[in-house]
Amino acid sequence: MNSYRWDELSEGLSHEFEAQLTQSMLKEFLELSGDQNPLHTDGEFARKAGFRDIVVYGMLTSALYSTLVGVYLPGRYCLLQGIDVDFVNPAFLGDHVRIAGSISYLNQAYRRAEVKASIHNGDGQMISRAKIRVGVHEH
């Protein structure tokens, strides 16, 4: 886990990591969210809707943005204050995804950073993009 302090952050500082979207993640997300929409549970339903397979929850993949800021950028002292996400393409079970973010702006008065982030699948296709607003606590 990274432990950037406010004074160590700079615009352009970036980090990335990879993850795989697994069946167990889908199952656990269903349990914790209660989102039973068949697009995420029923392959036949998903295919009739025009997708090649079960679609992974957008909010599940977005949980990886929490990891991006909470573990990597800035890491240990992160306070997640807000996030805007656009879901550009569907993610599917088994996808290997790459989560990347870069500090695009630092507000010195309120010590808040904005991180431009994105998730791409193994084919290089963008799954989602986000603007994440984070503070850095002093503890």
Q: Which chain residues interact with other proteins by CB under 8 A?
A: 81-82, 105, 107-110, 112, 114, 133
Q: Say if residues 76 and 3 touch (Cβ distance below 8 Å).
A: yes
Number of helices (H), then strands (E), in the chain = 3, 5
Q: Say if residues 115 and 68 touch (Cβ distance below 8 Å).
A: yes
We find the least distance from the C-beta atom of residue 35 to other proteins, in angstroms, to be 25
- In sequence order, the β-bridge partners of residue 60 are none
We find the least distance from the C-beta atom of residue 138 to other proteins, in angstroms, to be 14
Residue number, 55 or 134, with CB nearest to other proteins: 134
Residue number, 26 or 103, with CB nearest to other proteins: 103
We find the least distance from the C-beta atom of residue 114 to other proteins, in angstroms, to be 7
Nearest to 70 by CA among 117, 107, 25: 117
**Could you say which DSSP state residue 25 is in?**
H
Residue number, 10 or 89, with CB nearest to other proteins: 10
Residue number, 24 or 108, with CB nearest to other proteins: 108
What is the C-alpha to C-alpha distance for residues 97 and 82, in angstroms, rounded to an integer? Answer: 22
- In sequence order, the β-bridge partners of residue 74 are none
